[in-house]
Structure 1
Amino acid sequence: MTDGLQFSVHDEVARLTFARPEKKNAITHGMWAGIADAVTAVEHDPAVKVLVLTGAGADFSAGADISEFGALRSTAEAAAAYDKAIETAIGALAGLRKPTVALIRGNCIGGGCQISVACDFRFAATGSRFGITPAKLGIVYDFQSTRQLVDLVGPAHARYFLLSGSLIDAARAREIGLLNEVYPDDELDDAVGEFTSTLCSRSQSSIRGMNRIIEKILTGQSEPDAEVDRIRLDALHGEDYAEGVAAFLNRRPPNFTYR
């Protein structure tokens, strides 16, 4: 695994940890590339049903490692190449059919917040702080991540984030829809563990099919197409559908086997 990242799998849940706590888990160019590699590994591992992203120590991530910018973003061409690594990581997260969960403590700022927005779910501790700060650096946020933010919190809140670069606390982040839930710090891990267990117990054919349809809607599609029809038809002919109906009729928990 790339320096600054830790990857593990336990009980059907993969965990990708930003592991530079002394730097508030600032994300290096190599780490951006490593995120995409980890997502690919999760996508192709039949034993994994959920990916959790988190930070080591007190912070999720304070964003991209700006100390690299002098060397890696010194020209427009170099900056474009650097941004490509970020866009690839964000695109990989957004395109993963398996659910992704951001488990957040402390600072979740800049590129760190960008990563959390690309996840399907965001759970945070009460002391967390959030912000996206391109206006402090003379950077224009990329289209894909801007669209994801607007889809999540709406244009007014997205403008507040991007144009002011101001930080908000977890309560406000939950209020505007940036977070799914906020927990006391000592309850966060158990809450996320319970939620990921719930996801693992559900029909994976349903989860991945619906995640794909949601992705298509968020990219602007307004009508079903051949892929949507195929996803729904495959589900009806799948083992999970038969098991789900049988379990419901027999008043027992389903035992889904699709991977």
Structure 2
Amino acid sequence: MNFKTSVDQRYAKYTQLVLDMPHPKVLRIMFNNPGRLNSITEQGHAELTEIWRDVDADPNVCAVILTGAGSAFSAGGDFALVQANIDSNDTRLKSWKEAKDLVYNFINCSKPVISAIRGPAAGAGLVCGLLADVSIVTKTASIVDGHTRLGVAAGDHAVMLWPLLCGMAKAKYYLLTCEKLSGEEAERIGLVSLAVEDEELEAAAMKVAVRLAEGAQSAIRWTKYALNNWLRQAGPAFDASLALEILGFTGPEVKEGLASHLEKRRPEFSATCVL
């Protein structure tokens, strides 16, 4: 792909994301940690939280494409960040605030966002990929909310969003079991907007982004604002789920969940039912 690089100076502070303008009114934001499936570092998480305020305030941007470098969208937060949340109360509090602000900043960003997802999509990357106003995936993309497999509650967006997109029954099944969905299945159940062939992904995202960027801006943005009131109504459920996720980082299950990931084995959680 040929990227243009003339972005506003307000984005110079972002070091963990690659930004360009493939169209005069379209900003492209790319996760760029390809050696680690575009996993998100502690700094990257902070940047992903803040950038939606800058996008909202940028008069030159009318639509956004969010994608990942190489063959992955984003594998989510890296294991170093998980360990830091386990070890440090200050880190947990920082993560709680950033995760809360990430979701609300994204929802309140007036510019339409189109996600272009291929390969693995999980964690904070998946938050933005599914919160996008139009989510486009390849049919072979691999989507998973892995919170309970890690040993913490599904708290970073899913309790707010998934029941609205695919219904409570499907949301409970995938969030409780952490079963992966292909892009094709995600489209079938309504979790994403469109599923396309791999080679069609960039063109499909660009087509939608340009259509929105060149459309009636007040009409598009006000429609987005009104529709997102469905998400704002689910704010209390999201707030509770996020608080419970952060609480989980203080317990024993997440330690076993992280260890099992690092050792590439099934977790062996204790079978306590006292809660």
Would the TM-score normalized by the shorter structure come out above 0.5? yes
CA separation in 2, counterparts of 1:83 and 1:52? 26
After TM superposition, give the deviation of residue 75 of structure 1 in Å.
Answer: 4.0
Instruction: Output the amino acid matched with 2:208.
Output: F
Tell me the residue number matched to 1:207: 220
Tell me the residue number matched to 1:3: 15
CA deviations on 1:148-190 (whole Å, 9 max, x unpaired) are 2221121111111210011011111001111111111111111
| Corresponding residue to 1:193 among 206, 209, 216 | 206
TM-score using structure 2 length: 0.75
User: Relative CO higher for 1 or 2, CA cutoff 8 Å, sep ≥ 6?
Assistant: 2
Counterparts of residues 44-59 of structure 1 (less than 5 Å): 44-59=57-72
CA deviations on 1:123-161 (whole Å, 9 max, x unpaired) are 011221111011111111227541122211211111112
Instruction: Output the amino acid matched with 1:140.
Output: A
Q: Percent identity?
A: 26
Instruction: Output the amino acid matched with 2:78.
Output: D
- Look at both structures and tell me which one has the larger radius of gyration over its CA atoms: 1
Tell me the residue number matched to 2:29: 16
TM-score using structure 1 length: 0.80
Tell me the residue number matched to 1:102: 115
Instruction: Output the amino acid matched with 1:173.
Output: A
Aligned partners of 2:124 and 2:156 also within 8 Å: no
Mark the runs of 5 or more structure 2 residues left unpaired by the alignment: 1-12, 235-275
SS at match of 1:46: coil
Instruction: Output the amino acid matched with 1:62.
Output: A
Give the 4+ runs in structure 1 shifted more than 6 A: none
Aligned partners of 2:99 and 2:156 also within 8 Å: no
Tell me the residue number matched to 1:218: 231
| Corresponding residue to 2:187 among 174, 178, 191 | 174
CA deviations on 1:195-253 (whole Å, 9 max, x unpaired) are 111112211000111111112233339xxxxxxxxxxxxxxxxxxxxxxxxxxxxxxxx
Asked if 1:127 corresponds to 2:140, the answer is yes
Aligned partners of 2:72 and 2:118 also within 8 Å: yes
Aligned partners of 1:93 and 1:100 also within 8 Å: no
Asked if 1:152 corresponds to 2:173, the answer is no
CA separation in 2, counterparts of 1:12 and 1:47? 6
Tell me the residue number matched to 2:56: 43
After TM superposition, give the deviation of residue 50 of structure 1 in Å.
Answer: 0.6
Aligned partners of 2:138 and 2:184 also within 8 Å: no
Instruction: Output the amino acid matched with 1:184.
Output: E
Instruction: Output the amino acid matched with 1:216.
Output: N
Moved more, 113-122 or 100-109: 113-122
Counterparts of residues 83-98 of structure 1 (less than 5 Å): 83-98=96-111
Moved more, 107-116 or 128-137: 107-116
After TM superposition, give the deviation of residue 77 of structure 1 in Å.
Answer: 5.0
Q: Residue 220 and residue 90 in structure 1: after superposition, are their counterparts in 2 closer, same or farther (change >3 A)? A: closer
Q: Residue 73 and residue 81 in structure 1: after superposition, are their counterparts in 2 closer, same or farther (change >3 A)? A: farther
Aligned partners of 2:16 and 2:47 also within 8 Å: no
Instruction: Output the amino acid matched with 2:16.
Output: G
RMSD over aligned Cα atoms: 1.8
CA separation in 2, counterparts of 1:143 and 1:5? 20
After TM superposition, give the deviation of residue 114 of structure 1 in Å.
Answer: 1.9
CA separation in 2, counterparts of 1:96 and 1:29? 22
After TM superposition, give the deviation of residue 20 of structure 1 in Å.
Answer: 0.0
Mark the runs of 5 or more structure 1 residues left unpaired by the alignment: 222-259
